[in-house]
Structure 1
């Protein structure tokens, strides 16, 4: 899944997470395990087919079944860039905070359950779809409204001294929403807004290594190299703790990639390559390190090796390495290196057509 999309599991989880009370996805909704598996594989057209079949055969019996399947359907449409269809599907919904979307409104179906049955991903889709349709300000307004909704939930949990999984989920959602909003502002180079959003989270104790790294990246964008170094040093200091969502290897690689960015600004590509190679040695599927190592080699005028780095990654870990940025860079290198680059790119495009998930944008090969 890309950064703009919720994790497949969030498609099944209502505003008050309840997966811990069930043995499997199928206990949550009709044949949800296979639907979830299709989403994880990126088989979004099959997701649409499965949802259409369940609806046509009236297999969805309870209110929350319809909402869960609708969530999968909308996310699949967004992944396939069918934004108008996704918007039309969302228009079929009433007020997501209405009583008809609460468990207690159906006591026979949900005895002793209260709260909203709306999957959080559905709220996220309602917020992000205007941006996909070119209505940026409308989308930003919805994203900020959803951020307020999430923060109110976080405050409620804190006031009740709730230390459950649900409380942690809501804090993670606040981080997700803030990052989504930062991404929109970053695309418009609105750096001061991004800095304020990040610093607000940091002031409230969100010492997240990815958030600090993003702060450093933005500081580099505005020319504050010393500030970026300070932020990256704080990330390195967090390695002594052991309570982050990242694994030890992921955190170590994040530190190396941050160091490499500082070297890149100074045009010390040899040192940057060394940092990226450490990442790849720890985790051969670190696609950011792989891609950036190839770029550094290209800057060092070692075009042959830069191409090999990307081609080897596609061969070794296609499910991870196959993303549009890496393929765009590889095709650019082909254009620089070979006279017959059109034939080479066509071979790559044919391979992509066989192995890529449904949402892969094949136009990135520029054939």
Structure 2
């Protein structure tokens, strides 16, 4: 029995910051899109998401969910669920998570529980769905709600939820392998069995990736390593094998085990040879990260530069190049690298991580950084919508 908790309409956060720091006249030139500027349907919602007006998208989901009978004041009151209403909740929760509205998100997600209540299934509504059986709930909504505690410092609770999901999925796959439907109730055709195993195997991988993230948050690197190793054994292609081996390399670096990271780098390189003959961005980045762990910043810089040659707009690579230059005492060049990244692709480069790094470098260079930060704010107003959760923190304006 869900309902909207976040009743007030969200304002455009970037516009508010622009008015405060640039003045009404400067901020007024920035076009702001609101929920009432688009059609009040899924097409309008997609347009807001495409253009990056995320707070307006949250506002529109409230309108659409209210029209479905689950709006403000409806929590703990009887309601009817549909695939459409649950898809709207999924969109709303995903956007709220993206802009870090954690407190209202947790409150709005709470009534759903673990999605096991009878009214979450097609058979609860026989007049609407006749003989159809199964859950109304999108898998992505289940996974998002299971992961939620991990975003507010409760990774153990998220881990428990994820393992429950994993157990259910593994039971379904076992039933399918026994030539039965997912719930084990009746025989299944070979064609349906193959497609269902493919679907649920992919979902099992997604849950296991989430478990790895929770394990890393808990600094349980052994569990994270074992889970990735299981995924590595289950990989069905050289691309998957190579990606997981690279992830193991970076995980061991995070845990401080550089020798193990080197071992996995070499394993990933052997697998890569079956895909392409020359190193790619992933391999150069792994090599650069290991160089940093060894304190070899010039070698790391060289590897990241080779990665940048292949993907000039890769922001992660640009950030790592700047870090290497900083450690080599080349502060001005580090700033230039990030500035060039913004100039070459402002839509992509004006990200939270790059802005934080660039503002930090400006502060290391000079105590008088106000004008440079305001210049970045103007660029944000020119090129970005409302996608950065906290502009003030990103630009270090306080």
TM band (smaller chain): 0.7 to 0.9
* 2:151 maps to 1:123: no
| Alpha-carbon distance in structure 2 between the residues aligned to 1:237 and 1:110 | 52
| Alpha-carbon distance in structure 2 between the residues aligned to 1:159 and 1:254 | 39
* 2:155 maps to 1:136: yes
* 2:281 maps to 1:272: no
* 2:334 maps to 1:334: no
* 2:248 maps to 1:215: yes
Unmatched 5+ residue regions in structure 1?
1-29, 243-247
Select the residue among 14, 35, 39 that pairs with 2:45: 35
Q: Whose RCO is larger (CA < 8 A, sep 6+)?
A: 2
**Cα distance per residue 1:252-274 (max 9 Å; x no partner):** 21111111122222222222222
* TM-score (structure 1 length as normaliser): 0.79
| Alpha-carbon distance in structure 1 between the residues aligned to 2:99 and 2:287 | 36
Please name the residue that 1:358 is paired with.
387
| Alpha-carbon distance in structure 1 between the residues aligned to 2:194 and 2:47 | 30
1:104–1:110: 8 Å Cα contact kept in structure 2?
A: yes
| Alpha-carbon distance in structure 2 between the residues aligned to 1:98 and 1:116 | 10
| Alpha-carbon distance in structure 2 between the residues aligned to 1:241 and 1:38 | 42
Select the residue among 63, 74, 99 that pairs with 2:82: 63
**Cα distance per residue 1:175-232 (max 9 Å; x no partner):** 3322222222223322222222222322344653332222112223444333212211
Please name the residue that 1:323 is paired with.
351
| Alpha-carbon distance in structure 2 between the residues aligned to 1:33 and 1:217 | 40
Q: Secondary structure at the match of 1:202?
A: helix
Q: CA RMSD, aligned part only?
A: 3.0
Q: Secondary structure at the match of 1:163?
A: helix
Count of aligned residue pairs for this structure pair = 331
Please name the residue that 2:105 is paired with.
86
Please name the residue that 1:148 is paired with.
167
Please name the residue that 1:311 is paired with.
339
1:96–1:118: 8 Å Cα contact kept in structure 2?
A: yes
- Written as runs of structure 1 = structure 2, the 5 A alignment for 1:151-170 is 151-160=170-179, 162-164=193-195, 167-170=197-200
CA distance 1:236–1:312, shift in 2 (3 Å): same
CA distance 1:171–1:280, shift in 2 (3 Å): farther
**Cα distance per residue 1:56-102 (max 9 Å; x no partner):** 44499971111111111122222222222112221232651344222
* TM-score (structure 2 length as normaliser): 0.73
Please name the residue that 2:18 is paired with.
none
| Cα distance, 1:351 vs structure 2 | 2.8
**Cα distance per residue 1:129-164 (max 9 Å; x no partner):** 223334333222112222323333444455546433
Considering only CA atoms, is the larger Rg found in Structure 1 or Structure 2? 2
Select the residue among 64, 74, 77 that pairs with 2:96: 77
Please name the residue that 1:259 is paired with.
287
